[in-house]
Chains A and B, each alone.
Chain A
């Protein structure tokens, strides 16, 4: 399962970022931030090539020795980034996709909340617990 899940606003500031407590949170912040480069590259490439095609999943953004970083972008250009441990080889592309779908659904719920101000950091408990469910249960 994921070791870090981040939701990043259209303007590239984090709306939500959570990582497994066992590892340095800072490192994930750097990783996710850097991955935005590739996200932007992919978005602009998609925008040029197939404007009407609605593939939100961006696939593997970049691998590092320890982690694999996957990206997903909503139609409103909110980005989801999931970082997975490289040693976790059992995860298939489809599972990553379904994680993103779940994340997107939950994010949509957050946005539907009339008390949520779009652009604010996400503090929803439901979202948080959903994310926890997708993360490695560190013990």
Chain B
């Protein structure tokens, strides 16, 4: 046994549980091969203690010859060498032999086993028919079995099995094999369970003792590892791994506890200084050297960790979990570094780096060895960490050993390198012959500057490629940056720059200001070395404005720019253009005047607010803004300019444009909220008549708002592209010289050029400091101002809402001079018209206003009037000013509008037109008066139309009282002004001596309020005979209420009255029925109408009237009609009729008819009408125009269609009381006859005496109906 323990065992996969074989060796040898082959064929379920899940395992065994030495001694915990089952083989079949030798041998075997406390045994009796045949005195086979069972297995009969004819191919033999194998497996598992359980219990007990002083982790480690080995042997890798993980955790916990001050004694052995750093060894399943160190308690922390990890790695690879290996490896390496720090283990500087580097590579090699290339590539996310770590460590080593410098390592560095290499030891035999190994790599890398660079670059690029491949761009950039640092150390800024720029891009794109600043500083350094002056200055500008830097640093970079700027321009002395964004920000721009719209030559000032980002005041030689000039489009002046107001988009005060501030370092442009909508109104007007075609809103910064937000692209957002900055050579410039920009806000005033009309757009801003120009290539939002040129204009406007005709009215003359200068002697020439004289007063003065509305001066106007022309000489006025003055004008009221129409064209230009315009409720007649003015700036006359309103409306009416006649004039004030009316008179146009107009008006002065009426009355008296026609003129004076008498203006109204004298007098009388005192409702009453001719017809009237000579008596025919429109009366019988009246004075005709009152009360008389009744031959008739008649008329017309056109003129019954039947009868009867016609009398020709009379009607005696009116 001693020899076994001493002999180093290389435990490999070939390890199997040991099963010893005693008894007939020859027999066993014959059976061995089939046994070893058949045992693992079928899995067995292994039920396990402590609630662990049962497992199916394929059992294998290593069958060895039984020796007593194989049995473990008391206290030996080795499990691997532990025989789990002892089998005794025999093919004895006769009792004699059994009794003679076999039994004895078996007894010895049993006692040995029992002595060692092993109860796992099996006796196999092999039976074969061949043997039986040879020996005749054999017992039946069962008897041998029974004997053995009796002798040995007193309680466990299952420990003895028979195997019959094992070498024969028969079903019986197969069956016997199967049962034997099953038995064997069961017993093996039983033994495992029992022995492993016991072992675990022991182990646990040992672990519980860990607080005791003498406890050693290394001892315990060996014990638990034994278990792991067994599990590994049983191919239970998972369980084996658990054992190592437990050991790992236990150790970790101890280290942590040590850190917490609770140190265990045994740990001190791990705290010894690290002497060897040869890295992990993963090529061997078990690193026996390390294991022995552990066993001896001489292992260092790195040894223990390395060994532990190599075991875990092996098991993980068996489990096909290579990616866990890489992950655990990284954790392990980090952890080891930490633990060494925690335990305060002294390590040679750089030793750990070597160890980590070697280990990383070793793990990677191991993984590469067990994985396919494609698999490796797809899983590079697992390996890239190790690559990076190795790269980092190599870089550290390089710095440490002076390999990363322009000069190479010095002697101290070399000494250090030698020390480090010494700690590596010699290369391990298994890799000694391969071309590449971590060991060789490290040694090579540390040997010279060139090889170091080669290896370092290789590793870096590999890591970067992997990162890029798996999309970890940020990590790749970080590696790149570290590479750039390396290049910079090596004095190769050219190679460094690209990496730095790439990194910078990604930091800028994602808005990480600190890394941006740091990287930019590195770039500045790089560019300075590369002598990329322009780029360097640009970067310096960015750094000088970087708030993350200290003032010192910022001043340094600012000074760099200034120093360059002040260099006297040498041979290659060209100016350098830089982006302004880093130098200063345009914050605000303000126009003065705010409208940003001025006329040609006016002053327009522009105030620029620049926020200087420099840490020190900077003196600018020039600050210039280039201006793009757009020639004014003819026709679009004025209105177009007013719509395009700058600064609308930013919603600021008028004339102020604010610019969004972008952080100069480019930080957080991604996260910044999207720019605000810039909406503008657009109006599309037709070019011909300026009418609106369409209106809308347009967003001017769509390109910014709808920009695609692509995260991939955003990482490549270009930095302020310095190359694109070029100063435009604008013809126009806003320029100021010698400006000093203080840090922070600066205000700079420009005077804008306004020589030509048009639109000026600010394009660029350029600040010049010596040789350096800071250019803002685009000014956004667009800043524009407009310069316009204007034609002179004259306008005349009423001062009040309406101009009233007939009264002097003030009008305002406004002259907008535009580009015209009013010179001395310039005058307005107004053509005079009769209908509208210009009233000039002596004190008339003109006001001159500037374009902004300020009063500039005031001067008197001189007005000269000749017969045809009124000349107003204008005061001197500069261009783009406004000249205002007021004049009184008077528009005469045409006395009779009808006659005035198209008649009064005085000088061919002026004409009146009456219009009916609706103004409020009342309608005011208006007169359009055109004024023709010759202006000094134009050869054409200007025509200006003024509308005057006539303040009054007049009406007249003829009133009669018997034979007496009156004329009433009604004057309606339709204006809004209250007027005073004076000296109303009515006169004849042609004086008739026999006629007299007698005024009945009480007052001569009267007030007419707005919208009120005034009535005037005159009696017409005549001596002989009234004239057939009377032409009158009503005239009055009027003035506004509060004005003096002198202001009274005349008003006249012409009218004509005809047929003045009264021809007939009508009288009606209602009498109650006979015997009654009063009329009663429902009772017939008598109505007597008497028509009396009052005068002989006059000559004039004779023409109108139709006379008939009948028996010497001249008669005329009249038609009377009784109508009661109020339905108070029912007319019984004929309500109308035709009478012949003698044409003689006082001839009377009486008509009797019966009417019936329908209501009680004082009823008005029914109205009686009289018409002239003319035969059909007479001249075309006037349609009877009673309203009710018209309605009937239409009805009948519809009825009869177009049968007879004459019908329309037929005599029709009118009045509602008539039955329709009679109406129709009449019509029927009259059809085909020549139709007479009716003609009404003029008002005043018939006088109705009983007009307005009423008669009392009593209610009927028996009223069936009681009518109640409730109102």
Contacts and interface: CB of A to CB of B under 8 A. Distances in A.
Contacts of B667: 13
Interface stretch (B411-419, B508-516, B619-627, B974-982): B508-516
Given A30-B478, A34-B478, A37-B475, A13 B670 contact: yes
B473 interface: yes
A117 B12 CA distance: 66
Contact of B514 (A26, A87, A90): A26
A63 B330 contact: yes
A62 B385 contact: yes
A41 B21 CA distance: 59
A63 B472 contact: no
Given A14-B512, A89-B259, A33 B474 contact: yes
Given A89-B259, A119-B671, A63 B331 contact: yes
A40 B471 CA distance: 9
B242 interface: no
Given A13-B667, A33-B507, A33-B512, 19 more contacts: A11-B511, A11-B671, A12-B510, A13-B511, A13-B668, A25-B514, A26-B518, A29-B512, A33-B478, A37-B467, A37-B471, A37-B473, A62-B385, A65-B338, A86-B338, A87-B338, A87-B341, A117-B673, A119-B671
Interface string A29-58: 110011011101100000000000000000
A72 B471 CA distance: 20
Given A34-B474, A87-B341, A63 B507 contact: no
A26 B331 CA distance: 25
Interface in A54-89: 62-65, 86-87, 89
A7 to B, nearest CB: 12
B724 to A, nearest CB: 25
Contacts of B672: 119
A99 interface: no
Contacts of A11: 510-511, 670-671, 711
A40 B473 CA distance: 11
A38 B334 contact: no
Contacts of A86: 334, 338
A1 interface: no
Residue of A11, A26, A63, A64 contacting most chain B CB atoms (<10 Å): A11
Contacts of A36: 474, 510
Nearest to A121: B668
A9 interface: yes
Interface string B460-479: 00000001001111110010
A119 B330 CA distance: 36
Nearest to B381: A41
A65 B357 CA distance: 13
Contacts of A25: 514
A36 B478 CA distance: 12
Contacts of A40: 471
A75 to B, nearest CB: 18
A119 B674 CA distance: 11
A41 B472 CA distance: 8
Contacts of B342: 87
B337 interface: yes
Interface in A115-139: 117, 119
Q: For the side of the interface on B, what is the size category? A: 35 or more
Q: For the side of the interface on A, what is the size category? A: 20 to 34
The main secondary structure of chain B at its interface with chain A is helix
A65 B512 contact: no
Contacts of B330: 63
A101 B385 CA distance: 29
B472 A38 contact: yes
27 contacts: A11-B510, A11-B670, A11-B711, A12-B510, A12-B670, A13-B512, A13-B668, A26-B518, A29-B514, A30-B478, A33-B478, A33-B515, A34-B474, A34-B475, A36-B510, A37-B473, A63-B331, A64-B334, A65-B334, A65-B338, A65-B389, A86-B334, A89-B256, A89-B259, A89-B338, A119-B672, A119-B673
Interface of B: 256, 259, 330-331, 333-334, 337-338, 341-342, 381, 385, 389, 467, 470-475, 478, 507, 510-512, 514-515, 518, 667-668, 670-673, 711
B515 A37 contact: no
B711 to A, nearest CB: 8
Contacts of B389: 65
Contacts of A90: 256
Contacts of A12: 510-511, 670
Interface string A1-20: 00000000101111000000
A33 B510 contact: yes
Contacts of A13: 510-512, 667-668, 670-671
B524 to A, nearest CB: 16
A41 B667 CA distance: 24
4 smallest A-B Cβ distances: which pairs?
A13-B511, A37-B472, A29-B514, A13-B671
Contacts of A29: 512, 514-515
Interface string A90-128: 100000000000000000000000000101000000000
Contacts of B338: 65, 86-87, 89
A88 to B, nearest CB: 10
Nearest to B671: A13
Residue of B470, B474, B478, B671 contacting most chain A CB atoms (<10 Å): B671
Contacts of A117: 673
A65 B385 CA distance: 11
Nearest to A63: B334
Contacts of B518: 26
Contacts of B671: 9, 11, 13, 119
Contacts of A63: 330-331, 334
A41 B469 CA distance: 13
A22 to B, nearest CB: 17
A15 B802 CA distance: 68
B849 to A, nearest CB: 48
Contacts of A41: 381, 470-472
A13 B512 CA distance: 6
Nearest to B252: A89
Contacts of B507: 33
Nearest to B255: A89
Given A37-B472, A62-B385, A30 B515 contact: yes
Contacts of A26: 514-515, 518
A17 B71 CA distance: 68
Contacts of B711: 11
A46 to B, nearest CB: 15
Nearest to B478: A34
Contacts of B473: 37
Nearest to B714: A11
Contacts of A119: 671-673
B261 to A, nearest CB: 13
A95 to B, nearest CB: 15
Nearest to A85: B338
Nearest to A89: B256
Contacts of B472: 37-38, 41
Contacts of B381: 41
Residue of A12, A29, A86, A119 contacting most chain B CB atoms (<10 Å): A12
B514 A65 contact: no
A18 B671 CA distance: 19
A82 B176 CA distance: 68
Residue of B331, B338, B341 contacting most chain A CB atoms (<10 Å): B338
Nearest to A32: B512
Nearest to B477: A34
A37 B510 CA distance: 13
B504 to A, nearest CB: 12
A128 B976 CA distance: 75
Nearest to A15: B671
A7 B1011 CA distance: 80
Nearest to B330: A63
Residue of B337, B341, B467, B668 contacting most chain A CB atoms (<10 Å): B668
A2 B511 CA distance: 24
B222 to A, nearest CB: 27
A20 to B, nearest CB: 15
